C-alpha cells in the first residue's frame, strides 16, 4: 500500500522557498486506481516525483510497500525505485539507439552489465502483451506514437512494480491511440494489481477512473467523492 502523510514540498528558488504541496494526505491500497487533475503548474508532476521516490518531500512521510524510501541510502533508494515504481511520462523517453526489446530491458541494466534469461523472457512477454510482439527489433523512430507509449508501459512494468505512475500518458497521442493506450493501462493495472496514479488534463481519461483527485492551491482533494 501507499501512504502520504502530511506531505509538504517546496522548491528552493533564489527568491526563497516556493511552496508547491501542502498537507497532502493519501492512502491507497494495492489495486486502486486514481486520476489526478489540476491546472498547469499546480504541482501534479511534483506530486508524482515525491510519491515515486524521485524527489524527497520537504516534510512529511511517504511509505510504499512498508518502506519510507527517503530513509534509504542512495544505492538502496535507486534499487527500491527501480523495483517498486514504474513511470510512464508524456514523452516516452525511449533510448533512440536501442530496439523496443532493449528499451524494455533498460531497468534491468541499472547496476548490471547483462540481463538474465528470465528477465529477457519477461520483456518479450510484456512486449507481446502490449501488442508489439512483431516490433521487438524496431527502434523508437520506426514505431508509431502509440506503439512507443506501449513500449514505455512495458518498460515500466518489467519488475512488476507495486506502483505505476503516469504523467499525461496519452497527452501526445491522437484520440484512437490515446483510447488504446488507456485501455491497455487499465487492463495491465487489473492484471498486475498495481496502484495506478495517472495525472491527466484529459477529461475523457480522468472520467474512466473510479476515484479522482484535484490538485489546487497546493492542496490535494477528492474531486468526486465515491
- Which of 132, 182 has the CB closer to Mg ion? 182
Q: Which does 140 bind (CB under 5 to 8 A by kind): Mg ion, ligand ATP, none?
A: none
Cα–Cα distance for residue pair 119/132, rounded to 1 Å: 17
Q: What are phi and psi of 117, to 5 degrees?
A: -65, -35
Q: Is 42 in the site for Mg ion (CB under 5 A)?
A: no
- CA dist list (Å): 129 to 13, 22, 200, 226: 44, 39, 24, 31
The least distance separating ligand ATP from the CB of residue 15, rounded to whole angstroms, comes to 10
Does position 122 bind ligand ATP by CB under 6 A? no
**Does position 42 bind ligand ATP by CB under 6 A?**
yes
Cell numbers 494495492 correspond to what residue? 30
Nearer to ligand ATP, 42 or 177 (CB): 42
- For the bound state, the minimum distance from the C-beta of residue 134 to ligand ATP, rounded and expressed in Å, comes to 34
What string of DSSP letters covers 164-218?
EEEESTTTTS-HHHHHHHHHHHHHHHHHHT-EEEEE-S-HHHHTTSSEEEEEETT
Pairing between strand 211-216 and 219-222? antiparallel
Q: Which does 225 bind (CB under 5 to 8 A by kind): Mg ion, ligand ATP, none?
A: none
Q: By CB under 6 A, which span of 10-18, 107-115, 152-160, 180-188 interacts with ligand ATP?
A: 10-18
Q: Give the one residue of 32, 37, 45, 198 binding Mg ion; rule: CB under 5 A.
A: 45
Q: Which does 15 bind (CB under 5 to 8 A by kind): Mg ion, ligand ATP, none?
A: none
Q: Which is nearer to ligand ATP, 165 or 188 (CB)?
A: 165
Task: Select from 32, 37, 46, 51 the one that contacts ligand ATP (CB under 6 A).
Answer: 46
Work out which of 14, 16, 41, 96 binds ligand ATP, going by CB under 6 A.
41
As measured in angstroms, the least distance from the Cβ of 119 to Mg ion is 31
Chain residues 15-34 in contact with ligand ATP, contact rule CB under 6 A: 18, 20
Helix axes 175-192, 145-156, angle to 10 degrees: 20
Sign of CA dihedral 130, 133, 137, 141: negative
Q: And the C-alpha cell for 157?
A: 512494468
d(CA 33, CA 226): 12
Q: Write the Ramachandran bin of 23: left for phi over 0, alpha for psi from -120 to 50, otherwise beta.
A: left
Q: Which does 42 bind (CB under 5 to 8 A by kind): ligand ATP, Mg ion, none?
A: ligand ATP
Binding site for ligand ATP (CB under 6 A): 11, 13, 18, 20, 38, 40-46
Amino acid at each position: 500500500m501507499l501512504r502520504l502523510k502530511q506531505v509538504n514540498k517546496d522548491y528552493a528558488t533564489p527568491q526563497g522557498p516556493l511552496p508547491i504541496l501542502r498537507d497532502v494526505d493519501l492512502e491507497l491500497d494495492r489495486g486502486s486506481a486514481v486520476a489526478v487533475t489540476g491546472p498547469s503548474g499546480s504541482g501534479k508532476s511534483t506530486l508524482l516525483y515525491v510519491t515515486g521516490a524521485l524527489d524527497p518531500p520537504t516534510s512529511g512521510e511517504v511509505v510504499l510497500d512498508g518502506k519510507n524510501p527517503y530513509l534509504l541510502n542512495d544505492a538502496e533508494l535507486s534499487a527500491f525505485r527501480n523495483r517498486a515504481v514504474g513511470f510512464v511520462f508524456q514523452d516516452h523517453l525511449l533510448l533512440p539507439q536501442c530496439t523496443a526489446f532493449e528499451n524494455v530491458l533498460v531497468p534491468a541494466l541499472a547496476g548490471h552489465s547483462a540481463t538474465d534469461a528470465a528477465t529477457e523472457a519477461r520483456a518479450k512477454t510484456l512486449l507481446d502483451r502490449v501488442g508489439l510482439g512483431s516490433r521487438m527489433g524496431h527502434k523508437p523512430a520506426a514505431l508509431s506514437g502509440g506503439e512507443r507509449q506501449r513500449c514505455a508501459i512495458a518498460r515500466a512494468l518489467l519488475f512488476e512494480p507495486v506502483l505505476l505512475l503516469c504523467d499525461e500518458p496519452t497527452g501526445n497521442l491522437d484520440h484512437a491511440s490515446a483510447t488504446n493506450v488507456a485501455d491497455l493501462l487499465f487492463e495491465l493495472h487489473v492484471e498486475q494489481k498495481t496502484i495506478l496514479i495517472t495525472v491527466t488534463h484529459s477529461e475523457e481519461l480522468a472520467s474512466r477512473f473510479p476515484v479522482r483527485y484535484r490538485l489546487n492551491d497546493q492542496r490535494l482533494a477528492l474531486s468526486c467523492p465515491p
